């Protein structure tokens, strides 16, 4: 079984503050991907990230949270607490679930203003754009767009 190379989950420190910025999380994921020998291992890593996501409550699987136009079914929603946006997501595809888990790992728990001001450049650095089929790449772009829209709505 493949385990996460080095990234730790975002957590609060003793003062109740979140200790990793979006950029730090992105950098850690890039480093994690670089440790993996090939795309077979990277896909396994993505799938494991997806399996580690908490299940989405059935009530949140609705037309309002579903992304349309993706090859797989994807549901993505958010709650805001103390100016921070917490994302919840699921998919009916293991790989797509891994992709959305990657985004949740980077953006969940961050301030809405920081999400909106950030760039998803790390996707290019991971090499995902070159590895995904056109349909999966379109779905990933829609997931990113939804995350930014949900963060913008939380401002």
Where in the sequence numbering do the catalytic residues fall? 70
In 13-95 the beta strands, taken as DSSP E runs, fall at: 66-67, 74-81, 84-91
Taking alpha carbons only, the member of 11, 42, 25, 34 closest to residue 125 is 34
DSSP secondary structure code for residue 56 in this structure: P
142 is written with which tokens? 């829609």
DSSP secondary structure code for residue 105 in this structure: H
- In angstroms, the CA 54 to CA 19 distance is 21
User: What does residue 75 show for φ and ψ, rounded to 5 degrees?
Assistant: -120, 130
Q: What is the enclosing helix (H) or strand (E) of 111?
A: strand 110-111
């Amino acid at each position: 079984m493949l385990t996460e190379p080095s990234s730790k989950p975002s957590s609060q420190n003793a003062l109740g503050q979140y200790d990793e910025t979006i950029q730090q999380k992105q950098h850690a994921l890039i480093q994690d991907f670089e440790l993996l020998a090939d795309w077979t291992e990277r896909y396994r890593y993505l799938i494991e990230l997806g399996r580690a996501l908490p299940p989405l409550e059935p009530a949140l699987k609705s037309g309002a949270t579903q992304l349309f136009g993706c090859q797989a079914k994807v549901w993505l929603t958010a709650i805001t607490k103390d100016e921070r946006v917490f994302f919840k997501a699921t998919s009916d595809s293991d790989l797509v679930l891994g992709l959305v888990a990657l985004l949740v790992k980077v953006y969940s728990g961050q301030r809405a203003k920081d999400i909106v001001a950030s760039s998803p450049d790390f996707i290019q650095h991971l090499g995902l754009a070159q590895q995904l089929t056109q349909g999966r790449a379109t779905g990933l772009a829609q997931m990113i767009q939804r995350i930014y829209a949900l963060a913008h709505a939380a401002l």
